Each structure stands twice: as structure tokens, then as C-alpha cells.
Structure 1
Amino acid sequence: MDELKRLRGLMKEETFKEHGFTNKMRENILNEVHSKPSSKAFSFNIIPIFAPLMSFVFVAACLSLFVYFGGTQLGLFDGNNASAPFYQYEAKDRPESLGAEFKFLTKAPFEVAEVTTKTSEDPSGEIELVNLTGKERQIIKLTFQSIEPGTNLTLYQEEVKVGQSKGSYYESEGPEKVNRLIWIEGDTIKYEMEYLPGGSDITLSKKDMIKMAESFR
């Protein structure tokens, strides 16, 4: 800085006399020497600051996209858990008492170890109950019932669709989580499905329950 100050003091008009400098050359040199360095210093210093900042923004943006799309694929966003693993279930244990008009589950979130059946009645008629139990005491409770066309059934929980059929969904909170899905097919068949995780750590989402219901064949 001292050398630059001394140079500015020496660079007077007489410095250029008898050295072959044109007027334009003298003006350019004087302007360059006497100009303030602040703008150039700023341009020089901004590069090392700006470059790491842009790198950080780029990395943060990439990470955000990775987390979002990864979470979407896993079902962690939009209020859903990651989808449970599903096993193909061969309905060899379908109760003989279950009429041909009823469909039966073909996908389950666990390997079925035991099947129990029971018949009961309510004011709407006979009900067939089937329980599918897994090795960790997980249970799927299935209810099958024929109803009269036009029967007025009020579905109190969240309205959902199972294929083209109208239904309702409910799930409880806490460690003893219970999922329940009810749907009506063709105005004459009522299905109810309830899932209890038992001793397993597999919990189901609304999406999982609808996937199971749509597997009925």
C-alpha cells in the first residue's frame, strides 16, 4: 500500500513529458493509478465467499430432494407408514359355511398359522366370523354378512373406497393399535376386517388395509 501511495504521488502530468506518451495513454494510466481499489477488492474477495455458499445450497437442495423422494417411496409422508410386507394367502382354510357369494382374502401381512371360525347373528341376519392368526399372535378378524338391498347402514368413520365400493375406516392410537375397515359390495354383501398387531411390531396404515380388502377374490 505504501508503494502504491508513493506511485500515485509521482504520477503527475510532467511524468509523461518527453517519453512518447499520447494524451489518451496518459489519461488511461493516470485514471488507473488514481482510482480507488475498493470495487476491485470486493470483486476479488466475493469469489471465495460466494463459491462455498453456492456449494452448500446445492448440497442442501440435493439432500432435500433425496429425503423427499425416498420418504415418498417408503410411504413416510402424507400420513402413511411404510407399507407392510404382504404374503400371498391360499384360502385353503376358507370355511365351508361361507357361501359362494362371498369373496375371501388372498393377501395377509403375516404368514397365517391358525384359522378359527364362528357363526352368530344380529338384527340384520346371520354373520360368519373368521379369525386368521399369525405366529406372533397377530390377528385379522373377518366378518361376512348378507344384507337386504337398500338396508340403511350408517358408516360412522372416515369414508373410503375399496375398489368401487363404499366403505369406512378407523384406526386407534397408542401401542394397542387397532385398524378396522368396513365396506359394502353390490348393496347386498357387507365385509368387515379388523387387524390387531399382537406381539409383532408390524402396524398397518389405511393404505395397507385397503390393499388387503382389494385382494378379496
Structure 2
Amino acid sequence: MDELKSLHRLMKEETFKGRGFTDKMRENILHEIHSKQAKSFSGPKKPIFAPIMSMLFFAACLSIFVYFGGTQLGIFGNNASAPLYEASDRPEFLGKEFKFITKVPFEVKNVSTKTSEGPYGNIQTVTLMGPEKQTVTMSFQLLEPGTDLTLSQEPVNVGSSKGSYTESEDPLKVSMLTWIEGEVMYDMQYMPARSGITLTKDDMIQMAESFR
């Protein structure tokens, strides 16, 4: 580049006098010198700029991949917004007037049942347990006609039925959903146990709407 600068300084008007150069030749020579000088200044920018843009593009793609991959796997938010698994069996002791869950967010390893007395009559309870002790407990109760119940927690809709939702404040985040269909009251509670997979309000409603 120093040689180009020196040559440029020498290329004065007197350089071309008496040398047989036409005006066109002089213009071409000066144009060539200026072109090479411009390239020598702009040359180093490409190899620096291109790798930076490549790195930024790669980082952006990686961030998008990690985010969406993490969302699908239930990593972010540590919730179970994942495909639900079909529950295989309906307990025989459960009355035909009750619907039963058809989808739960884990493989059912154990089913237990019990009957108890509640303020509005008999309560039938079914508990489903998964491989990491995660548990869904469901209570079924037939109400007397005209029974007036007030659901005091956060109001939600389960299909066309009115219900209420709440969750505990402790680290386990136990989720609870109650709803009434006709003269039947359903109560469902999910406990994550050691699985670390919590359920959101929408997850609980999705499970409730799977009752058939």
C-alpha cells in the first residue's frame, strides 16, 4: 500500500508530459491506481464481518432450537404440558352415573379405591399412581336434587360445566379442581411427588374434560 501512495504522489500532470500519454490513457492509469487503493482499504473488512455475522446467525438458531425443544420436553416452567396417556381401566365399584378419566399425564402403575361418608352423602374415591409416585386422586359424589353448592376458589369452566381451581403454595404445588355436572360433583387433585412435574390449571382442565 505504501508503494501505491508513492506512485499516486508521483502521478502529477508533469509526469504525463512528453511521455506520449493521451488524456484517455492518463485517466485509465489514475483510475486503476485509485481502484487498487480503495480495495486495499476495504479488503480486511470482509473476513472480519462475515465470521461475526455467521456466529450471530448460529447463536440465534441455537437459542430458538433450545427454547422450542425445552418447551416441548416440559423443561421450561417444569410443567407437564405434554401428551397425555390413556388410562386403561375403570374401577368396577364406581357407579355408572359417574364419568371416569380417560387421560392422565403418566403411566398408571397402581389404582386404589375407597368409599367414605361426606357432608352430601357417600363419596367414592379413586387414586391413580405413576412410576415416580405422582398421584391423581379423584372423588365422585352424587348430590341430592336442588343441592346448592358454592365453589369458592378461582372460577373455571370444564366444558360447559362450572368449576373452581386452586393450587397450594408449597414447593410441591398440589393442583386441585372441582366441578359439577348435573347432580354429580367431581373433585380431582394432582400431587407431583418426586417426579418434579407440576400441572398447570389448563393441564387440570384438559384432564377433567377427558372424563367419559
Q: TM-score range by the shorter chain?
A: 0.7 to 0.9
Q: Tell whether 2:89 aligns with 1:94.
A: no
Shift of 1:149: 4.7
- 1:166 corresponds to: 162
Aligned residues: 208
Which of 164, 177, 198 is equivalent to 1:181?
177
Structure 2: state its 5+ residue gaps: none
Q: Tell whether 2:60 aligns with 1:65.
A: no
Using the TM superposition, name which of 45-54 and 104-113 deviates more. 104-113
Residues 74, 82 of structure 2: 8 Å contact kept: yes
Shift of 1:144: 1.6
Assess, with a 3 A threshold, how the Cα gap between structure 1 residues 203 and 78 changes in structure 2: closer, same or farther.
Answer: closer
What TM-score do you get using the length of structure 2 for normalisation? 0.77
Shift of 1:193: 0.7
- 1:130 corresponds to: 125
- 1:111 corresponds to: 108
Shift of 1:3: 3.2
Residues 118, 130 of structure 1: 8 Å contact kept: yes
What TM-score do you get using the length of structure 1 for normalisation? 0.75
Deviations 1:127-181 (A, max 9, x none): 4131325376544322222334572423313x33323322222222444442211
Residues 170, 179 of structure 1: 8 Å contact kept: yes
Assess, with a 3 A threshold, how the Cα gap between structure 1 residues 63 and 138 changes in structure 2: closer, same or farther.
Answer: closer
Q: Percent identity?
A: 48
Residues 138, 197 of structure 1: 8 Å contact kept: yes
Root-mean-square deviation (CA, aligned residues, Å) is 3.2
Q: Tell whether 2:208 aligns with 1:213.
A: yes
Deviations 1:81-125 (A, max 9, x none): 45376352211x2325x3x32112233434242422113131xx2
Shift of 1:205: 0.9
Following the alignment from structure 2 to structure 1, what is the Cα–Cα distance between the partners of residues 45 and 79?
46
Following the alignment from structure 1 to structure 2, what is the Cα–Cα distance between the partners of residues 83 and 34?
65
